[in-house]
Every structure is written in C-alpha cells, then in structure tokens.
Structure 1
Amino acid sequence: MSDLNWQDLSAQVVALLQQSRQRVLTQMQRALTIDEKTSRKDLVTNVDKGNEQFLIQGIRQLDPQAQVLGEEGFGDHVTSTTGRLWIVDPIDGTMNFVKQRDNFAMMIGIYQDGVGQLGFIYDVMKDVLYRGGPQLGGVWANEMQLTAPADLALSDGLIGMSSPLVIHDVAHMQAIVHASAGMRIYGSAGIEMINVMVGKTLGYISHLKPWDFAAGQILLNTLGVQMSTIDGQPLDMLSSNLVLVATKQAQRDILQIEEDDVSL
C-alpha cells in the first residue's frame, strides 16, 4: 500500500480504538477470568486476550499487508521491522485494570521500515485518546493539540519509575530519584508516558517490551522528548529494553549519573 493515506488511517484507528473501549467497558461489568503469566504480579485477563483479538482483526482489515506484533501472541511471529509493522498492547497496566479498574491504557504504534509513523495511547477510563506522529505533524489529546513539555533538568521535576528498579537500585535508580524533585509510580507505561507528554513528569524509567514503548516513542519523539536505553542507545524494537524517557536536559543529567557510576 504505497499510496497509504495516513490521515485516513489515523481516523480509522481512532474509530477502532473507540469501539474497543466500549467493548472493554462492557466486559468490566462482568466477572474477569484472571491468569498469571510469569508471576502473581504479571497478570493477563480474558479482556486482554479478547481485546487484542478484536484489535488485530480490525488492523487486518485496515492494512492486510502489514505485520502485527501483539503482547498476548495473537499477531504474527515478527523477526524483522522491514515493511509496515503494527505493535499492539490491548490492556497496558493489567494489574491496575484488575485491582483499580482505572489507570490503564490501550496502545498502538505503527512503524514503516523501523521508523515510527503514528502512535495512539488511549486512557480508557478518562476517555482521552492521545494520537499523533510525523504523519500528522503533531500530537493531540482528543481534539486538543499538545505543545512540547518544558525541557526541565532532572532536579526541577518529578520522574516516573518502576518500583522494582528503585527497590533493587538497578542502574543507580536511587541516585536518579534522589537527584530529581521526587518519584511517582503509576503502574502503566502508557499512563506514565501520558504524564510526560503533558508535562506532569519530566521522565520515566522502566524495563519495557516493544508493546509497552512502541506507541509512546512515536508520540514523545514528536513532542521533542527523548527515548533511549538507560545508556543513551537507540531502542531495539523487537526486544526488551531498560528504557529511559526524559526531556533533553533530564536525559543528559541521568546519563551523567550512569557514566559517573553514582550511588547513594
């Protein structure tokens, strides 16, 4: 589909995600089937699985030539980013979904030959859909276009963190938190990235898989926010990464802590 109309495709993805949200809200009124994936803190529900199947079915209709990588395994066995690749997280923040019925997101990132084109993060319970990328020339929260967040230094803002990284002081996380204005933990990569996009936090660090960061990378990069590995290298789109999201100044501060091997 060399003649792909990205504006039209974005509108179609928005409609698909809105349909998916209504399905999720309906299913939330029923008893959930909850299973453990790797541990009692790594959950999957019937809603995760059903929502991924629904989204992938819709994607196949919109873009039948593309590959699809989904968290729950209903997509393709993807070994290359050549061509067009959709990366889907049907419920990001499943623990929040199960325990809080809040603070979870649906995410889709669309890449062409490894380059991000369109990203979508849907804050399901607040009904705010963040969409954008190079093909749209900006980022929107529903119909409001976002401006780039302030380029704050690490000491001037809050930073989102993954609690196990801080508890075990992986890659000097405690020193990074100490150097910041404070730590916040939301329990969902999508919600964390929304907070960075709107300027409530200046960064986020966590160990993430492709479906956790694919959409956010497109949206954040469009707003001038950096996303890299913890040592400043480009992310591998098909593997897990220790991911650093930060304003340019904060990224420099954090990379300096890593380089200096700082500890408390």
Structure 2
Amino acid sequence: MVPELATRLDLAVSAARQAGAHLRDLYERRGELVIEQKGRNDFVSRADREAEALIKDLVAAHYPGDAFIGEETGAAGLAASAGAIWVVDPLDGTTNFLKGAHNWCVSIGLVLDGVIAAGVIYDPLRDEMFEGAVGDGARVSGRPIAVSTVTDPGEGVIGLGIVPRIGADRFSDDARALLATGMSFRQVGAGALMLAYTAAGRVDAYFERHMWAWDATAGLALIQAAGGAALPYPTGPASLKGGAVLAANPVLLARLEDRLGGLDAPVAGA
C-alpha cells in the first residue's frame, strides 16, 4: 500500500471509531433526539450531523487539501483534479438507529486520483471494523476477509436494496429476475453494511439500482480489496449523481449482470 493511502486509511479507522462511539452514546439516548424528515422514508437527526462534523474536522486537521463529500454537508473542495476525496456517510441506516434496531454503521470511503482506493465501515454496536485497500486485502477487526466463492446464483444469497428513487415496477422486475435464478435475498436497511457483509462473504452479492456515493464508495473498495468485483461506479464530481451497484466475486457478478437490464440507465431524481 502506498504510504499516503496507508496513513489516510489509519485516520479513517480512527475517525470511524470516534464517530461510532459518539453515535453509540446517542443511540442509548435516542428518545431525546429531534427527528427531521428529508424525504419519503428519509430521516435525519443531530446524530447524523454531529458524527459527520467530527469526521470532517479530523480530516481537515490532518489533510486540509483533501476534498470531502458527506451525506449531510455535501461536497467541499471537490474538483475534477482533486487527488484525494473522502466520501462519508456518518450514519447509514438512520431509520434503524432511530427505531432502536441494530443494523447501522459509519461509512468512510477514499478515492485517490479518480480511483476508489480504500474503505472503512464500522458497526459500533457489534464493534466490527471493516477496513481495506484495493490491492492490499480487507479485514474485519484485524482478521482477513474474502468475498464468497459461490458462482451459481441458485446456491447464493444476495443483498437487495430498495430506495424511493426506483419505482415499484422496476424493483419488482429486478427482484423477479434475481429470484428466478434461485437466489434468496436479504434486506437490512443499511446498504453500506450489506456491502461490508458482501466483502466478508456473509452474503454472496449485493445489488441496488441506485446508491449515493456516500453509501457505496467504502463498500465497493472493501469488496475489491477482498477479491471481488463490481460494476463501474462514478468518482469525482460525477459521483454526486450516484449510480447502480452490483458486486460479487467476478464469476457471479457476470452471471447476475446478464439477468438485469438497463443498469446504466438514468434514475429519476438522482
């Protein structure tokens, strides 16, 4: 791993752990939080904003020249020529968090010179730290992880994400096509966490027709670091529109892609 990436990855791990500790405290006091609605089934509270501010301040203190994309604060310092970009969802699975469910996480992705390079996804309640850099392997809490070796969809489990930007008919068509292969599916309400589980082989693949960059970047880095593959995903300014995510081991990825249509089609509202 190149030194500049290694030091940033170390900082990402530290930032995720600090943000996670703050979120865990607020989770225990979530009844005190004021909940705001950003859109249909899309909620936010001070927990999201404070965790993002903590991460953003740490990045700025160590790497003031780096660009930053956050779910709550948007893009800062972003330009086509930006060498390093931090892509952050401070709390993926906000609805789970606010309802007292367990599936939520902190997601920090790193893009270097236009390439998704590294990622950290931290589950504070289980104290599981997923981290990795493309070409250098991936780990959970220090233990090496790898994507599933299942290549037959009929033997596999796929994480399947749904968002309001995708119409019910499109989602139904996608689910029908995937289930027709014999796959079973899981949905936990936190796409970044499901991508981490894909990297660790806990599910065999993940598909979401549209994911924002802050949800997808860290997980895509982890999956590639763990020996997997994914559809091309935009970086830099183009990533602000998000894109389709399909990830698995290379053989399974190709077989699933054949079953799905129009993955490069624009999504309304993106």
Instruction: Work out whether the TM-score is over 0.5.
Output: yes
Instruction: Please say if residues 158 and 180 of structure 1, whose CA atoms lie closer than 8 Å, have aligned partners that are also in contact.
Output: no
Specify the alignment match of 1:212 in structure 2.
215
Within a 5 Å distance, the mapping from 1:244-259 to structure 2 comes to 244-258=246-260
Name the residue aligned to 1:38: 39
Question: Quick check: 1:158–1:183 contact (8 Å CA) kept in 2?
Answer: yes
Amino acid at match of 2:60: R
Quickly say closer, same or farther: Cα 1:78–1:11, change in 2 above 3 A.
closer
CA distance in 1, matches of 2:177, 2:3: 47
Q: Structure 2: how far apart are the matches of 1:100 and 1:27?
A: 11
The amino acid of 1:211's aligned partner reads W
Q: How many residues align?
A: 251
- Distance (whole Å) between structure 2 residues aligned to residue 255 and residue 148 of structure 1: 17
Cross-structure match for 2:138: 139
1:70 paired residue number:
70
Return the offset for 1:48: 0.3
Change (3 A) 1:258 1:27: closer
Which contiguous aligned blocks of 4+ residues in structure 1 show a shift greater than 6 angstroms?
none
CA distance 1:147–1:172, change in 2 (3 Å): closer
> Residue 228 of structure 2 aligns with which residue?
225
> Partners in 2 of 1:224 and 1:184 — Cα distance?
22
Whether the aligned pair in 1 keeps the contact of 2:89 and 2:214 (CA below 8 Å) is yes
CA contact (8 A) 1:227 1:245 kept: yes
Whole-angstrom CA distance in 2 between matches of 1:184 and 1:134? 26
CA distance in 2, matches of 1:128, 1:85: 24
Spell out the pairing of 1:160-175 with structure 2 (5 A cutoff). 160-163=159-162, 167-170=168-171, 172-175=174-177
Does structure 2 retain, via aligned residues, the 8 Å contact 1:166–1:173? no
Going from structure 1 to structure 2, the CA distance change for 1:254 and 1:24 (only over 3 Å counts) comes to same
Partner of 1:157: 156
Aligned partner of 1:235 in structure 2 is 233
Structure 1 unpaired stretches of 5+: 229-233
Identity of aligned residues (%): 23
Residues 64/125 of structure 1: CA separation in 2 closer, same or farther (3 Å cut): same
Pairwise CA distance, 1:141: 0.5
What is the match of residue 21 of structure 1? 20
Mapped to 2, the partners of 1:184 and 1:167 lie a distance apart of 18
- Checking the alignment, whether the CA contact within 8 Å between 1:92 and 1:105 is kept in structure 2 is yes
Q: 1:52: Cα distance to partner?
A: 0.5
Q: 1:116 to 1:172 in 2, by over 3 A?
A: closer
* CA 1:169–1:72: 2 relative to 1, 3 Å: same
1 CA distance for matches of 2:259 and 2:8? 42
Instruction: Assess if the C-alpha contact under 8 Å between 1:56 and 1:74 holds in 2.
Output: no
Q: Which of the residues 172, 192, 200 maps onto 1:190? A: 192
Cα offsets for 1:186-215 (capped at 9, x unmatched): 111122112212222111111200001110
Return the letter of the residue paired with 1:251: L
Residue 151 of structure 1, CA deviation: 4.2
TM-score (structure 2 length as normaliser): 0.85
Distance 2:178 2:26 in 1: 40
Distance 1:134 1:246 in 2: 15
1:34, CA displacement in angstroms?
Answer: 0.9
Distance 2:233 2:101 in 1: 31
Structure 1 residue 65 displacement after superposition = 0.8
Q: Tell me, in whole angstroms, the C-alpha distance in 1 between the residues paired with 2:62 and 2:106.
A: 18
SS at match of 2:185: strand
In the alignment, the residues of structure 1 paired with residue 261 and residue 97 of structure 2 have an alpha-carbon distance, to the nearest angstrom, of: 37
CA RMSD of aligned residues (A): 2.2
What code does the residue aligned with 1:236 have?
P
Q: State the alpha-carbon separation in 1 of the partners of residues 230 and 13 from structure 2.
A: 24
Unpaired runs of 5+ in structure 2? 263-270
Q: Which residue matches 1:122? A: 122
